[in-house]
Amino acid sequence: MKFKLKLIWACTFGIAAMSACNNASESKSQSKMNDTTNMELPLSKTDFQDTIDGKQTDLFILKNKNNLQAAITNYGGRIVGLWVPDKSEKMTDIVVGFANLKTYVTSTEPYFGATIGRYGNRIAKGKFKIDGKEYSSSLNNGVNMLHGGKNGFQSVVWDAKQVGDNVLELSYLSKDMEEGFPGNLDVKVVYTLTDDNELKIEYNAKTDKKTVVNLTNHAFFNLNGEGSGEILDHVLQINANTYTPVDATLIPTGKLDPVDGTPFDFRSPTAIGARVKTENEQLKNGAGYDHNFVLNASEGTGLTNAGCVVGDKSGIKMEVFTDQPGLQFYCGNFMKSKNTFKGGKQDDFRTAFCLETQHFPDSPNQPSFPATILNPGETYHTVSIYKFSK
C-alpha cells in the first residue's frame, strides 16, 4: 500500500525578495563553495555516544559532492543540523538542534528534528477503532495524543547503518501494543543527502496486525541560520486551496475550509508573520499557525511540489516535495526560551518553523479523511524531499 497524491506544480514568487522562488521546479546550478570543502562541524561524535535502554547512541554525518552536510543521531532518528550555502556561499546551519545527547534527553521540547511515529500529529482523546475494536494511546497533549504518545519514536534508539558518505538507514521494531498501537511494526527510515542538494527521506513499514501509521519528520528550520532570530520575515508559499480547521484542542473539525480570504492563504508568496496576529478564531486556537494544509492534487507523475520557503536574510530557498496529502505548518508558537541550541542561542518564541509532510491529524476518527490503515502483507512507503538552492 502506498499513500500517494501526485502533482506537478511550480512555486512562483513575485518581485524583490519574493523573486527567489521563481521557477522553483527548475534546479539552480550551485557555484563553487569557496573554502567550505573541509568545513568542520561544531559537533563531537563523543557527545552523542552513550547507551540508552541497552542500545548504543551515536552521531552520523552525511555529505554530498557539493559539501552540504547533515548531522543525524539515532536517538529519536533526529536531524541535529543541516549546513547549506547562503547567497554569499557561507555554509549556514538551517536546522535547530542541540550539541549533545544529554540535552535532547532532558529538553522541554521533545521533538526537535525527530522521526515521528507511530502516528504523527494528534488523535482525539488518544482513542481510535479498527474493525470495531477500540484502542487507546497515552495522552500527552492535554486530552489528546500527539506524535505517537508519551514514548513515541522520538524517544527510542534506532538501529543505524551508514551507507557511504551520503546515506543513513535507520530501523526500529515497534512491538505490538507499544503506546497502544496494535501490531509489530517493522520500520525503516532512509536519509539521503543527494548531489542535487536534497535531503530525501524515505519511510517504510510493515505490520503483522492491522494498524494505523503516519510517519513524518519534525525538523525545526530557520533558513537564516540557527539562532538568527524570528522567522516571521521568511517568505512562504503553500500549494493548498483548503486546510483542516481545528477546535480549541487542535483536533480537526472534519471540514475542509477554503484558504481564500483568510490568513491561511499562502498560495501566493507571503511573509510568515504578515497575518499571524490577525483576529481569527483558528489562529487563536493554534496560538498562531499550527494547522494541516490539504495539498492540491492533479494527474501526473512525480511528487507533489508542496511548498517553498525563502530566508529573507540568507536567500536560502527550500522547496518541499512529497507524496503525502497534507502539510502541517507550525511557526514555533510554543517555543519558550527554555533550551539552548548548539550555537549557544535559546529556543526563543517563533525562531523556527516546521513543514511536516503527513496524513491529516485524527484521520483514524475522521472517515472523510484519507485513510491511514496498514494491513498485514502491505508495505507503507512514502517519500519526502527538502531541496535547497539560492
CB 295 within 8 A of CB 304: yes
To the query of whether residue 218 is one of the catalytic residues in this protein, the response is yes
DSSP type of residue 377:
T
Nearest-angstrom CA–CA distance, 59 and 104? 13
Catalytic residue among 147, 178, 198, 218: 218
Contact criterion met (CB below 8 Å) for 380 and 204: yes
Nearest CA-CA partner of 25 in 319, 267, 382, 315: 319
Q: Are 9 and 302 in contact (CB under 8 A)?
A: no
The CA distance from 244 to 242, in Å, is 7
Say which DSSP state 45 is in: G
Catalytic-labelled residue, pool 179, 198, 319, 356? 356
Could you give the dihedral angle defined by the CA atoms of residues 278, 280, 286 and 291, in that order, rounded to the nearest 10 degrees? -90
Strand-pair partners of 293 = 243, 327
Question: Do 343 and 227 contact (CB within 8 A), yes or no?
Answer: yes
Report, in angstroms and rounded to the nearest whole number, the Rg of the chain calculated over CA atoms.
20
Residue located via cell numbers 530501523: 171
Cβ-based burial of 19 (10 A; exposed 0-12, middle 13-18, buried ≥19): middle
Secondary-structure breakdown of the chain: helix, strand, coil percentages, each rounded to the nearest 5: 10, 35, 55
Rounded to whole angstroms, the Cα distance separating 324 from 363 reads: 13
In angstroms, the first-to-last Cα distance of the chain is 36
What are phi and psi for residue 80, nearest 5 degrees? -85, -35
What residues are annotated to the active site? 218, 356
